[in-house]
Structure formats: C-alpha cells, structure tokens
Amino acid sequence: MSGGALGGRQNIIGGLKMSDFRRFSVWNSSRLVFGLDPQLWRIDPAGRIIFWDAYGDRNHSYGWEIGHITALADGGMDAYFNIQAEHWVTNLNKESFRRQNIQGFGNIYAQKSCLDEPFQYFGNER
C-alpha cells in the first residue's frame, strides 16, 4: 500500500478514479453529433469531431484532450467550469495563438461574427 496524499486510498467518485471522472464529465458537457453514438462521438467548441477512444492520442484524426477555456498562464483555474473536451488540433491552435499574442503579433479577436466575415481579424495597424 502506498502512502501519498490520500494515505494509500484511491480518490474515487462513484466507482471512477478522479482522472476518469474528469474525462467523463467534460465529455458529457460536449455537444452531440447528430446520428452518431453519443458515447463515442462528440463535437468540440471549434466544431471538430472527437472520438471517445482517441483520448490523448495526437496521432488519431479524432483525438482529443481536456483543455482550459482560459489558460492557466492567463489566470484561468483548473476547475470544472474552466475545462472542456477539445480536439488536439483545437488545443494546439489555442496555445499557438496565445503565444503569438504574448510575442506581440497583435490581438486576435473576431471583427464580426465568424459567420459574417470568416477569418477577418484586427489588432495590427492597417
């Protein structure tokens, strides 16, 4: 029996380890894919399809991760209200945009709704 912070007890909620509970919770808060099994398929906030069994697999076309809505580096919290299921590409793109913004490439905010003029951004002087 190992020691650790819980004195050898596993952190279990309803028969699930805490890490599995977290994964299950963010999965269930994701949007459904019409016509596909909701236990296996969901849509991330960027509209990318994710597959339950591809959790943590960046080599899978539908791989996904748990991402922070507001990055920890930007003052976000590691709490349920600030995490979501994201395709690994979505998560990678968010980090890339955050780094560009920090390095002085300008703000990346949508000028209008992405439905009005997709990919139109401002932040750099014209």
Per-residue pLDDT of 56-81, as tens digits, reads 999 999 999 999 998 888 888 989 99
In whole angstroms, give the CA distance from residue 86 to residue 45.
7
Burial of 65 (0-12, 13-18, 19+ CB in 10 A): buried
Does residue 2 sit within a domain? Answer: no
Domain count, the chain: 1
What's the pTM value of the predicted model, to 2 decimals?
A: 0.66
In whole angstroms, give the CA distance from residue 8 to residue 18.
15
The boundaries of the domain holding residue 117 are 12-122
Does residue 1 sit within a domain? Answer: no
Does residue 45 sit within a domain? Answer: yes
Mean pLDDT of 113-124: 42
Does residue 6 sit within a domain? Answer: no
* Greater pLDDT, 105 or 35: 35
* Three-state secondary structure call for residue 31: strand
Q: pLDDT, tens digit, for every residue of 4-51?
A: 444 444 555 556 576 788 899 999 999 999 999 999 999 999 999 999
Q: Evaluate if residue 88 carries a pLDDT over 90.
A: yes
* Greater pLDDT, 100 or 49: 49
Does residue 5 sit within a domain? Answer: no
- Residue 84 is given by DSSP the state E
